Structure formats: C-alpha cells, structure tokens
A and B are shown apart, each in its own frame.
Chain A
Amino acid sequence: MIRVTNLHKSFRSQHVLRGVNLEFATGKITTIVGTSGCGKTVLLRHLNALLRPDEGEVFVDGVDIAKLPQKELYEIRAKFGVLFQGAALLDSMSVFDNVAFPLREKTKSKEPEIRKKVEERLEQVGLGEMGRKFPAELSGGMKKRAGLARALIMDPEIVLFDEPTTGLDPVLATSIHQLIARTHTTFGFTGVLVSHTIPQVFGISDYIAMLADGVIKELSSPEVFCASQNPVVQQFIQGKTEGPIQVL
C-alpha cells in the first residue's frame, strides 16, 4: 500500500534522508526506530506529503504522492489519520469539536450522526466524559487519546503515529501502546509508528524498521530484529555509546 523508493531529503546543508527504500505491509503496524534526530519524523512526514522529497518517490496505492498537485493530494490524504507528537489538537475547540472537526469539514453527515460517532470514538479511547473539556485542560496522555480519536474518526486506511508516547510516564506509555494495539485490532488500519521507546514498542509492532545514517538498516519482525547481528541494531537495542552509531 505504501512504498518509499530512493527517498532523499536535505535541509540546507544537512542531508537527512539518503536514499530510503521501504515498503509498509498493508494492515500491519510498522515501527520506525532510530536515534533522536536521525530523520524518523522527516520520513513519516513524507508518507502523507507533509514534506516533499528532494529526490525519490512515495507511492500510496500505486500513486506517487510526491508529485501530486494539491487537489489530488487531498483525495489521497483522506485515507490517512495522523497522531502528532503533541497531539496537535486545535486549542480553540473542545475535545468533542476537535474529534468532530474532520466529519464536519469533510462530510455531509448530520449533527446527530456526528455526535453518535464522536461519542463512540471518545468512549473507545477512554475519554467518554471529557468531550466538553478544552485541550489546555487535559493531561499529556489525555491529549494523545483525543488526538487518536480524531485520527480515527474518518475510519482511515492508514494511521501515522509520530512518537505517540514521548513525554509520558511508563505506565501511561504502556496504556497508549495498548490503545493503539486495540484500535488496530478493531479498525484494521495500516499503522506506521515512529518511536524510540524500545523494547515496549515491539509488543504492538508487526515489523520494525531501523533508520540510521539516512537509510533503512534493518526491516524485520520484532523477534528477528532483536536477534539481528547488524551492529547498528545491536548498539541501538543495547543503548551503547560505542559502536557504528556516532554519539556526540
């Protein structure tokens, strides 16, 4: 469903992605791991064309979205749900209105229909009673849950998660992981997750992709990934400062 070929991206003199080749299995969760600042989020943002590559292609259902004009791109983006790192809830709206927002803007659904669906999603993420609150009144974990409810409201085929547990305590991080796994089972979307919280994230992932030096060093199931003889992978898993990954 999503395939990235020879993806290059630079920001001024910094060459972040240096020829990424990666295919995301349909209906599965693939987690991109790597050190901080290695370009995981940059790669994720290319998958729904929030960033355009300097070189290379990003295919979604066979269409290269990197070169699409805005109108066609928006049609493709309707297939995506995105959970941003800070949840990116619109702070002028209540949680309910945030979750209802895509339905109100992109569909012709009637208000009772919208209300029913939003309440159902909020219930699924454990925020049944929080609809009236504003983002500023929520804790970090609640914001992520509300962001997830909004990402899922349009029944997307693909959901992108940008570091969904960053800044959360281990208990809350586990609960968010469990929530992602549960919603994945319910909705069956293709999930792409960016994270560096290992090994916790292995439990919900079907595949792990290791990004280092601007390329994918390893793509395998969590079990195979852990047993990999690749020194980059082993250094990352073991958290060593010495090895092929340069630490400043």
Chain B
Amino acid sequence: MLSYLIHRILIMIPTLIAISVVIFTIINLPPGDYFSTYIAELQSSGESADLAKIAFLKAQYGFDRPLWAQYIFWVGGLLRGDMGYSFAYNLPVNQVVGDRLLMTVIVSFATILFTYIVAFPIGVYSATHQYSWTDHALTLLGLLGLATPSFLLALVLLYFANVYFGISIGGLMDPQYVNRAWSFGKAVSVAAHLWIPIIVIGTAGTASMIRRLRANLLDELQKQYVVTARAKGLHPFKLLFKYPLRMALNPFISDIGSLLPHVISGAAIVSVVMSLPTTGPMLLDALRSQDMYLAGSFLMFMAFLTVVGVFVSDIALAILDPRIRLQAGRRQ
C-alpha cells in the first residue's frame, strides 16, 4: 500500500510538468501578447497608448526574451509560490484571484449540493421503476437542463427574476453589499441571487449523475445477492439502502476529486453571462487578452487541484473498496 502511494505521488510530478508545458503553449499560441492586444484596443478607441509604460512592463517581465526563457521564469516563480503579475489588473495574481476564490467556492459548493440532492432521488427512482412513465418523465426533466444552452437560460431567468421578483440583474448580491463585511442582509442577498446560477449550472450536471446512478444501480439490482435477500423476506427499502446503493455510490466518491475543477470552469460561461464575481469570467478575460500570468498561473492552480483531487479520491476509494486494495497488492 505504501509503495502504491509513493508510486502515485512520484507520477504526479511529470504529469504536472507536462500540464504546465501544455498551458504555456496554449496561452502563447494565439499571435501577439497582452501588450499588443492592449495597444490595439486603445488605438481602436482613439486613446493614445502610454507606449513608454508599456515598453517598460514588457521589458520588466521579460516579454522581449525568447519563449523558453519566459517559461522558465514563470515556472520558477510558481515553485516559489509567486503566481506572477496581472497586467490587466495591475496587481499581483494572488490578490486578483484571492477575492474571487471565496465566491467561486460558495457557488460551486452550492451547485454540487444541488446536483446531488436532485440527482439522487431521481436516479434511485428511475432504477427501481425502470421503463415506467414516471421514469421517462423524470429523466426528461433531468435531461432538459442538460439540453438547454446555459447562457440563454441564464439570461432569460435573469430577466424574469428582475421583472417579477425585483432581483438585481447579475452579480451575486445587491450592489450595496459588495466589498462590505458579511452580515445577515448580505447573506440573504447572496441567497436570493444564488438560485439562478445554481439552477442553470446544476441542471447540466444532474443529467449525467442521474444516468450514472441509474446504470450502476441497475447493474447491482440484477445480481444474485439481491434476489436472495428479497427471497429471504428483507424489506425492499432496507434492501435497497443497505447493499446495492452503497456499491453504486462508488463512482460518486471517486468523482469528487475531479468534480470541483469541472464545476469551477464549467460555470465559466454562465458566470460571464450573469457577471458573477467568480473566477470563470476572470479566466476568460485573461485568456482573451493573453494576460499571461493571470491565466497561466490560475490554470496551473486548477490543474494542480485536479491532480491532487484525483489522487485523494483514489486513496479514498482504495480505503473504501477492499477490492482495489487487493488488486494493488496483487499487482505487486
């Protein structure tokens, strides 16, 4: 077991290095760089570019050096914990990201909770009443959220929430609470704004979760031990919850690790439409304007989260599921 752990940890390192190379390449693929984009933007709106300042920043951050040198510079900074400097915000990346991360976590956490709460009963019901009309109807409901493009749904919901409920459009709270300390009023405002993003982002995830749970549960329900238990007179409910469900939950736990970064980035489009103060719009803007450090460092951060998350969930699964431990032992 220990050597399995060490083996996995050692493998994480080249994975992260590969990811960093991919990220760096991808950000620098589009022609030009932040400065040329910024200059072009200014010139197209008729404003004179503060060319001296820009040439300055360019030299300071080594953008006049070859690409591989820039890469080393960036990675070196990352290893020291320095995520670099964002030119768009004129601030270190840590500061820009830090504030938004809390909001992102709140939204993501609430979305995942919503997804689980909705998907679970539907999945269980679907599996136990396969092919009934209710099964079809519920699956339809779950799929509807997946099928509708989220950005349009977000805009429509925003508009109607404003017209009928008076909720301010976009953002996660009423404007007067921004930058203020947390209070009851602020929490209520956040809750009132939160339900639209949760519905829009969450419904896309419920469909796949319903399907997974249903498929797994169906597999389990056809196994011999279920028939035996039922023949022996065990109450169907108790039967359901005590054995097959726990088996079917395996993928849920193993997925938690990779779920979080997915929700963070998957929510990006909706966040852009709804102008939420989360990391999604920030990332999108950074990529568009090629704000190298903000985009690259943040992506590295998310990739790091994923890799670590997968590792953690693998360990969790190994603890939970003795078969995996056995297999690992056998492989040795």
Q: Do the two chains bind?
A: no
Task: Enumerate chain A interface residues (CB-CB to B < 8 A).
Answer: none
Identify the B interface with A (CB < 8 A): none
